[in-house]
Structure 1
Amino acid sequence: MASTTAAPVTPVTGLCTHTLTSLHYRGADLVQDLMGKKTFTEVMLMQILNRAPRGVDLRITDVVLIVLMEHGLTPSAIATRLIYMSAPENLQGAVAAGLLAVGSSFVGTMENCSGLLDRISAAADPQAEALAIARHYKSLKSPVPGFGHHLHKPVDPRAYKLLDLARAEPELAGDKIRALELLSAAVDEAAGRPITINATGAVAALLGEIGVPTAVMRGFAVISRAAGLVSHIVEEQSSPSGRFIWETVEGAIPFVGRAGQAGS
């Protein structure tokens, strides 16, 4: 009896290849076509999106990377500083520790918001879908991804600058921006008051406009925040704060014994 087991498929890659005398990124010769001729952002988009980036892609990506790079002593920066304090010989480990904080609560929330924008764009009644999303999160007593900010009130200025820049780009279709606007109106209606679009909400719309898939968006936060975390290490080298953070936390959180009494 003949076997019906399919032959294993050999994996392939289209990202990079090399010979003894050359190295190619996709179809471009690294030395002849890219070095000295293309920017980092151009090559990054070529590799991630598998196409030649347009001017609008570069402008949108650059402003997004700038916005996501830094936000002070957030969990990612604190993690990086503490790990660097503990292991100063391991710069890459300290950066990696900070990047682990890029997730669904901080920095990487554009992915969560983009999923909602995808739902609204695909809906037969986008306005009704946006309102259903807003009411769902209200019932959970949870913020809608891409909305609200504990520091930037009444508006997050980064978000509205990003949206203004995108609206000035005639090459963008505007579908994701319109979906975000519908969701914003629905969030305000469900809350009974204005709720700001935050930076990652605007980033979700902008990256969607240039064709970045939802499942890839958090990668842009990782790329950008890595640069910011390196700068935190540079500052940690000249003006250390890791031990201060450690000692402050240790002093501020009391030990509680079995009887529920703070230790002396």
Structure 2
Amino acid sequence: MTVRNDVSDWWRTRIIDMEPGRIHLRGKPVQDLIGNTGFAEMIWLLVMGEEISGPRAALFEAALVSAVDHGPQAPSIGAARMAATCGIGLQSVMATGLNMLGDVHGGAGEQAITLYRQCEAAGPDGLPPTLNAWRADHGRFIPGFGHRFHKPVDPRAPRLLALVDAAAEAGAVSGAYAGIGRAIESHLAKERGKPVPMNIDGATAVIYAELGCPAPLARGFFGLSRSVGILAHGWEQMEQGGRNKGPTPPEYRWTYDGD
């Protein structure tokens, strides 16, 4: 007799097993996780399929905390606040903000991990040609360094790097990617004749690389982190009220370039 699994096999997952009265997440009963597993640890378990603890878990949580919000001038937050004045629900407000995240706003962490790993493969002497090759393929900006607003330094980056250093001293991570990030920072400063400090994207990319994350997950984890700020701002705007707010007050008009 042939057993047909065409329906049950339509979706295949190692994440969850469930039947009435039983929920197992990555093989662990949900009731054992509730109250015993932190949210950051839960994210790691579901996404990566393994447990994380100690200094490694603290590093992961620090990266998530660091990127929760960057104010209404950030496109994701500004879009969410505008959406909140248009009569849609809170979940749609959040989706509007998250949908603003892309290669430019939200994608630099993924790009930075890719660059770090290219630099790692090239070795210390290969740093300059690796950066030149990156620019030839992607343009003049090096992802994870410099900031249009935070000058001379992004206050989040030094703290994150200090936590990586502490975790490396404890043997929880290698510290190799922190070294690569600092080498890029030093090279850019010499090249431009002024500091080009690592920013939040570069620093969180160091953490995710140290933890062994595939590069695309840096973008996904950034979206998870930023969704907290999107929720906070969306709810705040709903409480403040306002109707159909655009990006600028109505007395300010746009520039018309037509005839």
For the criterion TM > 0.5, the same-fold answer is yes
| CA positional deviation for 1:245 | 3.6
Deviations 1:196-239 (A, max 9, x none): 11111010001111121112111111111111101001210222
CA gap of 1:98–1:184, structure 2 versus 1, over 3 A, is same
Deviations 1:122-168 (A, max 9, x none): 22xx2233212434566776221000001111121211111011101
- What is the aligned counterpart of 2:124 among 103, 127, 131? 127
Q: 2:114 maps to what in 1?
A: 115
Q: Distance in 2 between matches of 1:242 and 1:102?
A: 24
- What is the aligned counterpart of 1:148 among 118, 143, 146? 146
CA gap of 1:250–1:119, structure 2 versus 1, over 3 A, is farther
Give the gaps of 5 or more residues in structure 2. 1-8
8 Å contact kept, 2:82–2:245: no
Q: 1:229 maps to what in 2?
A: 230
Q: Distance in 1 between matches of 2:250 and 2:50?
A: 48
Rg (Cα) greater in structure: 1
8 Å contact kept, 1:111–1:204: yes
Q: 1:22 maps to what in 2?
A: 22
Q: Looking at both structures, which has the greater relative contact order when contacts are Cα pairs under 8 Å and sequence separation is at least 6?
A: 2
* 1:161-240 matches, cutoff 5 A: 161-169=159-167, 170=170, 171-240=172-241
Identity of aligned residues (%): 26
Give the gaps of 5 or more residues in structure 1. 1-8, 260-264
| CA positional deviation for 1:110 | 0.6
8 Å contact kept, 1:137–1:143: no
SS of the residue corresponding to residue 67 of structure 2 reads helix
CA gap of 1:247–1:190, structure 2 versus 1, over 3 A, is closer
8 Å contact kept, 1:236–1:242: no
CA gap of 1:161–1:246, structure 2 versus 1, over 3 A, is closer
TM-score (norm 1): 0.85
8 Å contact kept, 1:135–1:190: no
For these two proteins, the number of residue pairs brought into alignment is 246
| CA positional deviation for 1:26 | 1.0
Q: Residue type of the partner of 1:238?
A: E
